């Protein structure tokens, strides 16, 4: 893995939505910590000059987290701007000139996926790939075949150690804590297996729709948009074997190994839903069959997990916005208290962050009855301190690829979902603000009920 620090950051898609919502705020935060000491070159075709580009950066940080005067000033000093179409070789010649003496530029492709290939090709032709690395946004392909082709395109110009495939969930503190909590605590390992764990659920619920991203979402759907990437990454963190070290490749090896133990999905393992009203959104086909909800059941066929059902559920227009994992233990062999719920560990990923272990304790009073109590290991009511994009861009600048998806990982993840993409499983309508189609309850059956994440109500 290349540990050489980048000496310039080039970001394509500088006028886009992702840049506005995430990249400028992450760069300002990096600057605030005193860690932005390299030029940041935005490339887009808006016909802007540098002042207009800086104004866009200002509007972005004001809208997302607030302007930090010192951090923003540092960011502004580092900003450069190259205007031009990505189909025009002149754009890349101008970029080469702007890069000046930079020997290890990082090219961040925050652009629509159809442009990944053409931009990489132009970078190669203009001599911008020499000593460089590339950071690629999601979605990484739309199925196994396209992901393999995209890997070949990237590998034609960059060595694997210089390719950073972003999945922003890997930059989230609580997602990293899944691994840390498992392997930094010896009490967990003896029970973290099929002998003690009855089932695992991962729910990613969003109480909003596609928020103007209809054209993108019509090509994606929940399975492609978040299950194949974010939620399988969470699953890999929960299930992988202890890596031989914390080094990037050791961790990434274990993630690939555990995905290999997961059989590809069959139609009977999947429920697809679409919220009523989705087809009225801008950019959506009137007869769209895209899933805004997906629930899947999968298994991990290795010694640790054989027989444990894993359920993943994700959806738009659900009752809350929250991502949570629930690891349910077997019930005591002989019930000590009638109707006692099974113990669980709950990992709250967002919007707040928590790790909680459920227990039963005796209820105060004469009667020999129980009451549930959670032991809270971590609780950050306001979420994580560092934003995922800040962390990941920082890692990519340093050359640390641990929290980025490797070529073999993305292909394994696509291999798992590939047979059920498209309309193999019919889509069922569900009411907005419900927990999706009733078929999802049938999928989980006696391993249920689904655990619906609760959200603190604002006072
Ligand atoms: N938006 C989001 O919330 C998220 C986005 N992503 C991913 O990030 C990437 C970017 O998404 P997003 O920002 O939403 O996309 P947008 O469509 O908002 O932005 C696309 C950017 O690419 C530029 N562009 C497009 N075509 C050309 C061209 N031929 N020449 C020069 N510039 C061009 C646009 O410039 P111009 O404006 O001048 O046309 C714009 O800056 C995608 O891969 C997406 O999947 C990932 C997670 C979340
Ligand atoms: O990648 C994506 O993630 C967001 C959810 O991200 P989060 O960090 O807010 O949990 C999702 O809304 C979007 O559809 C998807 O493209």
CATH number reported for the structural domain that contains residue 120 in this entry: 3.40.50.720
157 within domain boundaries: no
**CB of residue 21 inside a 6 A radius of ligand 1:** yes
Let me know whether 130 and 199 are in one domain.
no
Instruction: Give the pLDDT score at 26.
Output: 97
Mutate to test the pocket of ligand 2, among 16, 169, 226 (most ligand atoms within 8 A of CB): 226
Could you tell me the sign of the dihedral formed by the alpha carbons of 376, 381, 383, 384, in that order?
negative
Let me know whether 181 and 131 are in one domain.
no
Q: How far is CA 50 from the centre of its chain?
A: 32
Instruction: Give the pLDDT score at 458.
Output: 57
Catalytic residue among 195, 196, 230, 379: 230
Instruction: Please name the residue whose Cα sits nearest to atom 11 of ligand 2.
Output: 226
Let me know whether 221 and 340 are in one domain.
yes
365 within domain boundaries: yes
Point out the domain boundary residue: 137, 160, 187: 137
pTM here?
0.95
321 within domain boundaries: yes
Let me know whether 13 and 85 are in one domain.
yes
Let me know whether 128 and 193 are in one domain.
no
Let me know whether 88 and 227 are in one domain.
no
Let me know whether 256 and 374 are in one domain.
yes
Taking residue 74's Cβ as centre, other Cβ atoms within 10 Å add up to 19
The pLDDT profile of the chain, 459 residues, written as one tens digit per residue, is 456 899 999 999 999 999 999 999 999 999 999 999 999 999 999 999 999 999 999 999 999 999 999 999 999 999 999 999 999 999 999 999 999 999 999 999 999 888 999 999 999 999 999 999 999 999 899 999 999 999 999 999 999 999 999 999 999 999 999 999 999 999 999 999 999 999 999 999 999 999 888 999 999 999 999 999 999 999 999 999 999 998 889 999 999 999 999 999 999 999 999 999 999 999 999 999 999 999 999 999 999 999 999 999 999 999 999 999 999 999 998 888 887 889 999 999 999 999 999 999 999 999 888 999 999 998 898 877 789 999 999 999 999 999 999 999 999 999 999 999 999 999 999 999 999 999 999 999 999 999 999 987 655
259 within domain boundaries: yes
Let me know whether 132 and 175 are in one domain.
no
Annotation says 230 is catalytic: yes
Let me know whether 183 and 127 are in one domain.
no
Let me know whether 318 and 227 are in one domain.
yes
Instruction: Give the pLDDT score at 457.
Output: 65
85 within domain boundaries: yes
CA atoms within 13 A on the CB side of 182: 23
Let me know whether 375 and 304 are in one domain.
yes
53 within domain boundaries: yes
Instruction: Give the pLDDT score at 335.
Output: 81
Number of compact structural domains in the chain: 2
Its domain, for residue 78, covers 8-137
Contact 411, 151 (CB under 8 A): yes
Point out the domain boundary residue: 137, 160, 186: 137
Instruction: Give the pLDDT score at 46.
Output: 94
Instruction: Give the pLDDT score at 1.
Output: 45
Let me know whether 232 and 322 are in one domain.
yes
What are the residues facing 315 on neighbouring strands? 205, 293
**CB of residue 22 inside a 6 A radius of ligand 1:** no
**CB of residue 173 inside a 6 A radius of ligand 2:** no
Point out the domain boundary residue: 121, 137, 153: 137
Give the CATH number of the domain where residue 384 resides: 3.30.360.10
């Amino acid at each position: 893995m290349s540990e050489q620090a980048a000496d310039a950051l080039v970001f394509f898609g500088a006028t886009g939505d992702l840049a506005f919502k995430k990249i400028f705020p992450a760069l300002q935060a990096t600057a605030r910590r005193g860690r932005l000491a390299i030029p940041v070159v935005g490339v887009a075709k808006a016909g802007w000059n540098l002042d207009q580009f800086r104004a866009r950066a200002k509007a972005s940080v004001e809208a997302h987290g607030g302007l930090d005067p010192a951090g923003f000033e540092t960011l502004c000093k580092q900003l450069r701007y190259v205007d031009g179409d990505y189909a025009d070789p002149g754009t890349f010649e101008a970029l080469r000139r702007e890069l000046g003496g930079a020997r290890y530029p990082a090219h961040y492709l925050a652009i629509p996926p159809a442009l990944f290939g053409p931009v990489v090709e132009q970078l190669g032709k203009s001599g911008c790939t020499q000593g460089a690395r590339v950071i690629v946004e999601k979605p990484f392909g739309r199925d196994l075949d396209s992901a393999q082709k995209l890997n070949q395109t990237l590998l034609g110009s960059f060595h694997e150690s210089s390719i950073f495939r972003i999945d922003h969930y890997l930059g989230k503190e609580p997602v990293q804590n899944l691994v840390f909590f498992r392997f930094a605590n010896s009490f967990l390992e003896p029970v973290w297996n099929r002998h003690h764990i009855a089932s695992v659920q991962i729910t990613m619920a969003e109480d909003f729709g596609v928020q103007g991203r209809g054209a993108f979402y019509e090509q994606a759907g929940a399975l492609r948009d978040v299950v194949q990437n974010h939620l399988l990454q969470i699953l890999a963190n929960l299930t992988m074997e202890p890596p031989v070290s914390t080094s990037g490749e050791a961790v990434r090896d274990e993630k690939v190994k555990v995905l290999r133990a997961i059989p590809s999905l069959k139609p009977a393992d999947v429920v697809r839903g679409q919220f009523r009203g989705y087809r009225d959104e801008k950019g959506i086909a009137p007869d769209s069959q895209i899933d805004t909800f997906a629930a899947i059941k999968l298994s991990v066929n290795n010694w640790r997990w054989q027989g444990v059902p894993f359920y993943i559920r994700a959806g738009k227009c659900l009752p809350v916005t929250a991502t949570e994992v629930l690891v349910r233990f077997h019930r005591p062999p002989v019930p000590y208290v009638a109707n006692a719920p099974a113990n669980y560990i709950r990992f709250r990923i967002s919007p707040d962050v928590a790790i909680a272990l459920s227990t039963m304790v005796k209820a105060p009073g004469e009667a020999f009855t129980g009451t549930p109590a959670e032991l809270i290991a971590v609780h950050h009511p306001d979420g994580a301190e560092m934003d995922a994009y800040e962390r990941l861009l920082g890692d990519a600048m340093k050359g640390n690829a641990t929290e980025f998806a490797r070529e073999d990982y993305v292909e394994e993840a696509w291999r798992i979902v590939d047979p059920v993409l498209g309309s193999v499983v019919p889509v069922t309508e569900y009411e907005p603000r419900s927990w999706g189609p009733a078929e999802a309850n049938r999928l989980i059956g006696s391993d249920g009920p689904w655990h619906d994440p609760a959200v603190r109500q604002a006072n």
